[in-house]
Amino acid sequence: MKQGGNTPPLQSAKTGHEQTLIQRQIDATDRQMDKLVYELYELTEEEIKIVEGT
């Protein structure tokens, strides 16, 4: 989603529905990035639990 200016997309959302959709996209991107980093460093399930604090 492309936004004009310097306003972050989540803050520029006009409705609660838009905020929810943007937050879901952010969460999905965070999970994808985490997975890629875990693969890059070849972390085990146990190490991932430690990193995530679970």
**Is 28 a residue whose pLDDT tops 50?**
yes
In the numeric block, which tokens belong to residue 25? 């996209």
Mean pLDDT of 3-27: 83
**Is 43 a residue whose pLDDT tops 80?**
yes
Report yes or no on whether pTM surpasses 0.85. Answer: no
Alpha-carbon distance of 38 to 22, in angstroms, equals 24
Alpha-carbon distance of 48 to 40, in angstroms, equals 12
Determine the Cα angle at 7 with ends 5 and 11, to 5°. 150
Give the whole-number percent of the chain exceeding pLDDT 70.
87
